[in-house]
Structure 1
Amino acid sequence: MVAKVLTIAGSDSGGGAGIQADIKTFQELDVYGMSAITALTAQNTLGVQNVYPIPVDMVLEQLNSIAEDLRPDALKTGMLFSGVIIESVADKIAEQGWGNVVVDPVMIAKGGARLLQEDAIRAIREKLLPLATVSTPNIPEAEVLTEMTLDTMDRRKKAAKILHKLGSSHVVIKGGHGQEEELVDLVYDGNRFFEMKSMRIDTRHTHGTGCTFAAAITSGLAKGCTAEDAILTAKRFIHRAIEVQLGIGSGHGPTNHWAYRKAGIGV
């Protein structure tokens, strides 16, 4: 039977991030994608022009519909916008007993627009991270969540331990914002650290990388992979998506979601 995956996130009218990036990734990794939309954005590769939150009752109606008929094998959260939406979504996930939860704490768009209200940070820490099988903050997001400056690997390791203590079974602090010559993603499972290293690719076409990476992890978990294997596959998927550029748009262009499959790497 085909694995079913759910994304709870915002819509990106430009197609590079959010719900659209997630669904493309799910399709490429042979899982059935479903969605609950938390906000509408007017955006393109040049930036975010407007954000319109979906009323929380409608967010919950979407989740109720999924629960009634299409129980997900794994799910991910992306841009949840506000504290009330985060708390409501977390309560629904817990109520339904849904597992294999990937938390991508989306806070700021690639162009710099803030996508998360201030009251949402506490809700992520207290309500969402305790449900996470894997959390995938980038360095700035991890800094906000831990109230630390993560300018060294030792500090990132301390932050990963904090996030794990808050409830996330596995923590991936993505290294795209780091200063190392290589890009280093730090993974912590509560017992050990390991680093995923890759060459930095000189490109402005990185819109939606975080969403895509988290969606790829979710796909792996839904198909029964261990968290570590799902993370490693997701790393290969996103690296290929950045490496083989589409060259779309005048700003931060989207990644190439079908590059992994076209390379014949497999699923």
Structure 2
Amino acid sequence: MIRYSSSPCAMTIAGSDSGGGAGIQADLATFAAYGVWGTAAVTAVTAQNPGGVRGSWALPPETVAAQIAAVSEAYQVGAFKTGMLADASVIRAVAAALPGGVPLVVDPVMVATSGTRLLARDALDVLVDDLLSRAAVVTPNLPEAGVLAGFPVRSMDGMRAAGAAVLAMGAAAVVVKGGHLEGAPADLFMDADGEVLLSGLRHPYAVHGTGCCFSAALAAGLALGMSPRDAFVRAKSFIEGAIAHAVPDLQGRRSVNPLWRCGRGGN
């Protein structure tokens, strides 16, 4: 009999994606693919599919905190990750509920690809002060990096400048994701010891949920005892496969496939 309490464990604190391609659903699938026991605190319920978000409802802060407390009492969580946090009250509740000394990956989810805002405008300062300042790794895409740094990020030089700005906020490491770059995409890892730049392939289709899957892979790596740098390298390889085997819906819109190594390729 498997004793999950003695297995590597990670926790995702994020919104639910009813279409299964992002959020809690993609995170838990990623944890499972890594061989990590996945736990979750749902921050919001969304009605969405790969075509967009039709509605979003945040849960009360005390409900989110109660989920974190219940899991922390029963499991030795090796890493936490945050995704959609909705508003400042939820961010404060999460920050207060998180135990100290456990690696935290912050995916600063602000706006859905469809344009739907997923973080209240007045919550940014709270996100920076309460979570980014204690993060082991922060994983902004280019638009998010621009919001955090306070200037547009459109080039590799801009990625480096934005990464330095996030490190100055207190994060131990940052991955600026370059999927929005012109030409071949590249992701930039930065910490106090320097940087690692890994390029990827540009596929002829958009994929829903890549940011959630990537940050969950980073958290799973940290839960397995990897350094942030090694976790980044493995997560980059993992997300490349999950994108290559993305799952199409009835309209051909694709979602990331964390189970691609489990014989469930989407193509």
Relative to the length of structure 1, the TM-score reads 0.93
Q: 1:67 offset after TM fit, Å? A: 2.0
TM-superposition CA deviations, 1:43-74 (whole Å, max 9, x none): 01111010010011111111111122223111
TM-superposition CA deviations, 1:174-223 (whole Å, max 9, x none): 001111x211111101231221111211112x111000000001111001
Q: 1:262 offset after TM fit, Å? A: 4.0
User: Partner residue of 1:150?
Assistant: 153
Q: Tell me if the contact between 1:27 and 1:33 (Cα under 8 Å) persists in the aligned partners.
A: yes
Q: Tell me if the contact between 1:45 and 1:250 (Cα under 8 Å) persists in the aligned partners.
A: no
Q: Tell me if the contact between 2:62 and 2:93 (Cα under 8 Å) persists in the aligned partners.
A: no
1: CA distance, partners of 2:14 / 2:49 = 17
Q: 1:258 offset after TM fit, Å? A: 1.5
1:133-144 map, 5 Å: 133-144=136-147
1: CA distance, partners of 2:76 / 2:168 = 28
**Percent of aligned pairs with the same amino acid:** 40
Cα gap change, 1:241 to 1:62, in 2 (>3 Å): same
Where in structure 1 are there 5+ consecutive unaligned residues? none
2: CA distance, partners of 1:249 / 1:19 = 22
Where in structure 2 are there 5+ consecutive unaligned residues? 1-5
Runs (4+) of structure 1 moved beyond 3 Å? 260-263
Pick aligned residue for 2:92 from 87, 90, 94: 87
1:159 aligns with 2:159: no
User: Partner residue of 1:104?
Assistant: 107
Q: 1:252 offset after TM fit, Å? A: 4.1
| Secondary structure at 1:62 match in 2 | helix
1:208-227 map, 5 Å: 208-227=209-228
Q: Tell me if the contact between 1:83 and 1:123 (Cα under 8 Å) persists in the aligned partners.
A: yes
| Secondary structure at 2:174 match in 1 | strand
Q: Tell me if the contact between 1:74 and 1:98 (Cα under 8 Å) persists in the aligned partners.
A: no
Would you say how many aligned residue pairs link Structure 1 and Structure 2?
Answer: 259
TM-superposition CA deviations, 1:76-104 (whole Å, max 9, x none): 000000011112211222xx214111000
Q: Which amino acid aligns with 2:178?
A: G
User: Partner residue of 1:239?
Assistant: 240
2: CA distance, partners of 1:85 / 1:123 = 10
Q: Tell me if the contact between 1:164 and 1:171 (Cα under 8 Å) persists in the aligned partners.
A: yes
Q: 1:165 offset after TM fit, Å? A: 1.1
1:71 aligns with 2:87: no
